[in-house]
Amino acid sequence: MGPAGGAPAQARDVVELGPDGICLNGDWTLRALTACLPRVRRRLRAAPAGAAWSLAEVTRLDSFGATLLWQAWGRQWPASLDASQAQREVIARVARAAAQPLPPMPGFTAIDAVVLLGSVLIGFARHVSDFVALLGQLFLDLLHLLRHPREWPLLEISANVHKVGVKAMPVTALVGFLIGVVLSYLSALQLKTFGADVFIVNILGLGIIRELGPVLVSVLVAGRSGSAMTAQLGVMRVTEEIDALAAMGVSRSLRLVLPKVIALTLAMPLLVLWTSAIALLGGWVSAWVELDLSFHYFVESLPEAVPIANLYIGLAKGAVFGLLIALIACHFGLRVKPNTESLSSNTTASVVSAITVVILVDAVFAIATRSIGLPA
């Protein structure tokens, strides 16, 4: 083997085309030939058919170099070859591998479809079973706390309300204000065309208080607080803190899951009310700029355009969405296995599942309350 940095020197005469045949020199390995591979391939293609080949000066030969030679020979042994037994064995191994056909791509059959469907259904059934078991355990914990009021985890509930509620107020206010501005701006462009400027209050009120407010807050909370809950429980699972609590006789559902569920159920209606108010403020700002709508008229017209039942529907949606997001986040957090890959996949699944469930439940709410809260 040549000295370090000798590959460029070998590249100058690695293939010698002479009157007596073709003489190969130096190292014929992947590392040595990478720098001069295009030149080597051009010289191999220029070799005359039926020429004599000599590998006597080749110091090293690996499967890469043997593959280059086998392709240059047209996948057959040359008539005249001067090579050692070890070099012939390397080339013969490459020739045998090239002669074997590639395995056909497996087709997707009806049996594969049944197996795939069955695995999906079994996985879904396991999720439903674990989710029902979690609900049952939380119900038993509530019965226990009702009989033993001194054991309520008030500190844990208060800390979770601060994390999922108070700390989420800035981002929900910013997003809500921008959504209100955009919705009001787009509506004002259409209403000005028909001279129906005053109906901007109806559109903003019903759209934000009844639908956009609860759904928008739920999506933000699912991505922010739901993922944090799943990650916290998952890390505790990876570091075996949950097992340590069980060894000390501390209920994981009573100290970890129940405070999160109660806190998010209580905080979500307040966040919905806060975000809806900020979104209406943003909508008024846009309406004031586009339609010259006064704040006094906006505030006076809002109760008439939006019955109070819509506010109750929005708050009820917030409570239900908060309960579902917390349950889904804790469900996936407790399913984390003691490895980082499971932690990341379950956190992603938690956020996606929570947002999907929120949209589905919102559709159910829309159907169930389609005749409630509409202005006369």
Question: In CATH, what number is assigned to the domain containing residue 85?
Answer: 3.30.750
Q: Does residue 364 lie in a domain region?
A: yes
Q: Does residue 293 lie in a domain region?
A: yes
For residue 23, list its beta bridge partners: 16, 54
pTM, entire model: 0.69
The pair of structure tokens assigned to 196 is: 């129906």
Query: What pLDDT score does 266 carry?
Result: 93
Looking at the fold, whether 48 and 136 belong to one and the same domain comes out as no
Q: How many domains does the chain have?
A: 2
Q: Is the pLDDT of residue 318 over 80?
A: yes
Q: Which of 157-166, 213-222, 339-348 has the lowest mean pLDDT?
A: 339-348
pLDDT tens for each residue of 262-283: 999 999 999 999 999 999 999 8
Looking at the fold, whether 191 and 335 belong to one and the same domain comes out as yes
Looking at the fold, whether 216 and 346 belong to one and the same domain comes out as yes
Residue 147 and residue 214: Cα distance in Å, rounded? 34
Q: Is the pLDDT of residue 102 over 90?
A: no
User: What b/e string do you get for 330-359 counting C-beta neighbours within 10 Å, with b at 16 or more?
Assistant: bbbbbbbeeeeeebebbbebbbebbbebbe
Q: What is the mean pLDDT of residues 37-61?
A: 84
64: containing domain: 7-99
Closest Cα to residue 200, out of 185, 216, 215? 185
Structure-model confidence comparison of residues 240 and 159, the more confident one? 159
Give 376's pLDDT tier (boundaries 50, 70, 90).
low
pLDDT tens for each residue of 139-187: 998 998 899 888 888 898 999 999 999 999 999 999 999 999 998 888 8
Q: Does residue 247 lie in a domain region?
A: yes
Q: Is the pLDDT of residue 2 over 80?
A: no
Residue 226 and residue 333: Cα distance in Å, rounded? 10
- Residue that is written with structure tokens 């914990």 in the block: 141
DSSP state of 318: H
The CA angle 124-126-132, to the nearest 5 degrees, is 105
For residue 72, list its beta bridge partners: none
Q: Does residue 358 lie in a domain region?
A: yes
Looking at the fold, whether 91 and 155 belong to one and the same domain comes out as no
Q: Does residue 107 lie in a domain region?
A: no
Looking at the fold, whether 158 and 244 belong to one and the same domain comes out as yes
